[in-house]
Structure 1
Amino acid sequence: MTVQRPSLIPVDRLASILRRTLLVFFGVPILLAVVMSLVDAYRSRGRRPKPFPTTPPRTTTVGEGEITTYTFGKDLYADMLAAIEGAQRQILFETYIWKADLTGERFKHALIAAAERGVDVYVIFDSFGNLVVPPRFKRFPSTVKVLRFPVYAAGLRFFDVTRYGRDHRKILVVDDAVGFVGGYNVGSAYASEWRDTHVRITGPGVWDLKRAFADFWNLNRRKRFRSSERPLLLETSSVWEPTIRFHRNVPRLWMFPIRSMYLEAITRASERIYLTTAYFLPDQDFVDALKDAAQRGVDVRILIPLKSNHIVTDWISRGYFSQMLESGVRIFRFTGAMIHAKSATVDGTWVTVGTANIDRLSLTGNYEINVEVIDEAFAAVLEEIFDLDSSNSLELTRNEWEARDVHRKFTEFVLKPLRPLL
């Protein structure tokens, strides 16, 4: 009697099946994402954002300094340019996107003029974020020290994931007197058409911003400058401000404290959490922390754009809505314009404002910086801003979400494999 052995699939056949499976699993979502982006770009041509409510700059005394909050780009840019024009010794300027429009030219001319009158001017911008900016705009006279963070920074270290982070930070420090940080890039559209949040800081906190800039400059300067170019050295202050701390994500050093900062604040919350973000694509642990807070009675509210400038991100983020709504998390969608702010308050005491979105790229990928403030008066200002933004928002109810069309559910399902990439 002959025993037949089960036939084995040849290795090449198995490899072919695996390649086709991966192609379908990732190729279809990527193709759909490209088509959606092209269609959205076509439909958005000539479309102008609607007016939205804003608050005038508000200044709060915090510790030994002050924090001024901005929610309208024109107000912020006016104070930033005034600081640059009044600089006497040093300017440190860093941005992700720097448009070559009227606003961008004003900043460039102000920085060059400061350098020509003897101010020590350092500039950092991300080359990937400015791919579409004309090359002539990115050229500066030798009086301005410029670090162009490269599109590809890994060199021959192709598999070193720590070298693929973008420089997503927005910092301005003038002398030892004043520092600015927040979500605003530089451009005319951001001046009036986007809702964002930025802060101006005086006092000991300015030194932490200076150190953050200098550390990035020195970490990335070696291959961009001649060996004779000296590092950016600072005379550090011995004063520590107990109510203000800066948290910096540094991919090269595998440091991502901003995510931990958020999680600690969320898990300690006992009354309310108000979170505003341009893009909501966290990991499941972050989502679980918000759900757990809501289930223990905390008033958890998340404010996101009804429609952001990245339609695929909008669709992928919706994959979290069902579980959050079921847990009692409230979701508000800002209407009429893009809200690009990255801020949060917890229990009317804890506040963060900065450059990091609540997504994987910001929390575990890019160079980011957020300021953490423990101050009830400052938290009250941010809560008032959240309430005003909520008045221009539509709350998503559980019934509304469950009643969405089948084709919407199918699109969310198809795009789900892209979630870990964003």
Structure 2
Amino acid sequence: MFEVLSSYWPHILAVLSIAMGAVAAIHAAMTKREVRSALGWVGVILLSPLLGALIYAVVGVNRIRRKSLISRRALHLDELWRTLSHYGVSREAVETRFGSRMAGLKTLGDRVAKHALSSGNRIDMLSSGAETYAAFCEAIDAAERSVILETYIFDRDAAGLRVADRLIAAHRRGVAVRVLIDAVGARYSVPSIIGYLTDAGVAVATFNGKVIMGLRLPYANLRTHRKILVADGAVAFLGGMNIRSAFEGDEAARDTHFRLTGPVVADIFAVAAEDWHFETGEILTGADWGVAPFAAEPGTPSFVRTVVSGPDTNLETNQKMMMGAFSVAEKSIRIMSPYFLPDNILLGALATAARRGVTVDIVIPAQNNLAIVSHAMAAQFDQILKDGSRIFRAGGQFDHSKLMTVDGQWSFVGSSNLDSRSLRLNFEIDLEVFDTAFAATIEARIDASLEGAEPVTQEELRRRPFVYRLFDRVLWLGSPYL
């Protein structure tokens, strides 16, 4: 065998290159939704069939096939089905309160999102790490039956250990505890929090962690960016907050999270339970995982929908929802995002809204935690300003919040950034909220960030040296994978 390999290795290598290159090129041509993306990958593969095919296998595949196995019925929530239906929101109810344009947006959500818009929910904003982690600990300490936590980053630092210790204590008093951490995010701290939890007997899994042994190499670039905590099926938390000490203290980065009660908790739990099943095969059923009764009356605000996105059957759901919102806006679109790198489709929708007379304000941090992303964002600023939108750089500590309002009536909050990774590669969870009071809360949060913010101007951009502008554009070329 060795003699054959030593004599014919060039021929074997050539055959492998042709075979792997052909398979990868065909896959790219057949699966990519955009012509430029397909051409780019086919070009890379043709230039270097073997290496190009390997690179494509790791970062080029942006769809994962997984059946949507978990639903309310699969989770044995049949007894709540009739109750949940009473909290459904009709198009007429939305039109009466918010007008015909928002009613159309509700219909869009019904058709592209898998979860219904429900009434009788309460949503409270948590505006700091200290406030969020304290609320986490309170909910975990109060849990009597179950806690499920899904997150991108869970550091083994002071903040992480405080939450981990509460989870361990809950497990020891008999509460069913499940923790799902992204395989990449789990390695942001060394040693990982995983060992700390598993040593104490807590059930922990890593999302997409079995890349080699689990034969998931083509999906190595796909991550869960969701941040979910559900306790006793009664209270849920989601938003942009990872679990790490960087969000605590006087010099901490800022972020925004949300505490929810009401029918929407059942949908949030179903998302986390489906991700847990995908990794472990365990379906979370039984008395421990039931959803608690709802206290609010049907038909009362807030109207909330869980919006699930990811590189599976939910591809680009978040983008479709935002596109719909931009198209119905009459007065204002307000966006706050740490990583603002949307594609031309979203930028075109914002430009169209601005040209119709809608005030479009985009707030980004003056100091970004990812310098590469900051430079790539700057490459788009000139065109955004030309199209009529306004951009503001908020001073102070880095703000990781993802907030959006339209016309002071509709809000979109959660884990999604406005970049290609969140819109196409990550598994995300957001909330669509029809509620003027909640929108006012979000806008007040944005207004607070605008105090002392510096507007970005075309004159400022043009004064930058050509070398810097070229550098920005070069980094912008890699924006789909930043």
With normalisation by structure 1, the TM-score equals 0.80
1:134 alignment partner in structure 2 = 190
| Post-superposition CA distance 1:305-339 (Å, at most 9, x none) | 11211111111111211111011100011223111
Indicate how the Cα distance of structure 1 residues 76 and 237 shifts in structure 2: closer, same or farther if over 3 A, else same: closer
State yes or no: 1:355 paired with 2:407: no
Name 1:203's counterpart in structure 2. Answer: 262
Aligned CA distance change for structure 1 residues 145 and 392 (closer, same or farther; 3 Å): farther
Distance 1:77 1:142, change over 3 A: closer
- Which residue pairs with 2:203 in the alignment? 145
Identify if the C-alpha distance between structure 1 residues 238 and 177 changes in structure 2 by more than 3 Å, giving closer, same or farther.
closer
After TM superposition, list the pairs within 5 Å mapping 1:330-369 onto structure 2: 330-369=390-429
Alignment counterpart, residue 90 of structure 1, candidates 140, 146, 151: 146
Question: For 2:243, which of 186, 204, 224 is the aligned residue?
Answer: 186
Counterpart in the other structure of 1:232: 284
Name the amino acid aligned to 2:343: D
- Tell me which of 166, 181, 185 is aligned to 1:110: 166
- Residue 137 of structure 1: CA displacement? 3.0
Amino acid aligned to 2:398: M
Instruction: State which of 412, 416, 433 in structure 2 corresponds to 1:373.
Output: 433
The corresponding residue for 2:20 is none
1:63 positional shift: 4.0
* CA gap 1:237/1:76 in 2 versus in 1, 3 angstroms: closer
The one of 316, 326, 331 aligned to 1:256: 316
- The 1-side partners of 2:382 and 2:210 are apart by 37
Show the 5 A alignment for 1:5-404: 63-135=119-191, 137-139=193-195, 140-141=198-199, 143-151=201-209, 153=211, 155-156=214-215, 158=217, 160=218, 164-192=221-249, 193-222=252-281, 230-233=282-285, 235=290, 243-253=303-313, 255-404=315-464
400-409 vs 321-330, which moves further: 400-409
Q: Residues of 2 paired with 1:110 and 1:382: CA distance?
A: 30
**Amino acid in the other structure paired with 1:415:** L
- CA drift at 1:156: 3.8
Cα distance, 1:176 vs structure 2: 2.3
Residues 112 and 411 of structure 1: is their aligned pair in 2 closer, same or farther, counting only changes over 3 Å? same
Contact 2:208 2:216 in 1 (8 A): no
Letter of the 2:234 counterpart: A
Q: 1:420 to 1:76 in 2, by over 3 A?
A: closer
For 1:219, the aligned partner's letter is F
Q: Classify the secondary structure of the residue corresponding to 2:224.
A: coil
Whether the aligned pair in 2 keeps the contact of 1:152 and 1:164 (CA below 8 Å) is no
Pick which of 292-301 and 212-221 moved more: 212-221
Q: Match for 1:79: what amino acid? A: A
Distance across 2 between alignment mates of 1:137 and 1:312: 28
Residue type at the aligned position of 1:201 = L
- Which whole-Å CA distance do the structure 1 matches of 2:317 and 2:215 have between them? 28
Structure 1, 354-363 or 316-325: larger mean CA deviation: 316-325
For the 8 Å contact 2:234–2:292, the answer to whether it is kept is no
Structure with bigger helix share is 2
SS at match of 1:251: coil
How far does residue 134 in structure 1 lie from its aligned partner after superposition? 2.8
1:412 aligns with 2:468: no
Instruction: In structure 2, list runs of 5 or more residues that go unmatched.
Output: 1-42, 56-117
- Mapped contact 2:125–2:256 kept (Cα < 8 A): yes
Quick one: distance in 2 between partners of 1:259 and 1:301? 18
Retained in 2: the 8 A contact 1:77–1:191? no
- For structure 1, the 5+ residue unaligned runs are 1-13, 27-61, 223-229
Equivalence for 2:33:
none
Determine which structure has greater relative contact order: mean sequence separation of CA pairs < 8 Å that are 6+ residues apart, divided by chain length. 1
For residues 325-379 of structure 1, give each alpha carbon's deviation from its aligned partner in whole angstroms, at most 9, with x where no partner exists.
0111000112231110111000000001100100001011111100110011110
TM-score under structure 2 length normalisation: 0.70
8 Å Cα contact 1:248-1:256 kept in structure 2: no
Tell me whether 183-192 or 342-351 shows the greater mean CA deviation: 183-192
Return the offset for 1:117. 0.4
Secondary structure of 2:246's aligned partner: helix
Question: Retained in 2: the 8 A contact 1:247–1:258?
Answer: yes
Distance change in 2, residues 1:215/1:136 (3 Å): closer
Deviation at 1:249, TM superposition (A): 1.4
Q: Is the 8 A contact 1:153 1:164 kept in 2?
A: no
SS in 1 for 2:265: helix
2:284 maps to amino acid: L
User: Does 403-412 or 107-116 show the bigger shift?
Assistant: 403-412
- Contact map agreement 2:234 2:291 (CA 8 A) in 1: no
**SS at the partner of 2:155?**
coil
Question: CA-atom RMSD, angstroms?
Answer: 2.8
- Tell me if structure 2 keeps the 8 A contact 1:279–1:304: yes
Q: Distance in 2 between matches of 1:238 and 1:79?
A: 21
Q: Which of the two has greater strand per residue? A: 1
Offset, 1:151? 4.3
> What is the CA-CA distance between 1:418 and the residue it aligns to?
1.1
Taking every aligned residue pair, what percent have the same amino acid on both sides?
Answer: 36
Residue of structure 2 in register with 1:29 after alignment: none
**CA apart distance, 1:236:** 6.4
Letter in 2 for 1:145: A
Letter in 2 for 1:164: N
**Matches of 2:379 and 2:335 in 1, distance apart?**
18
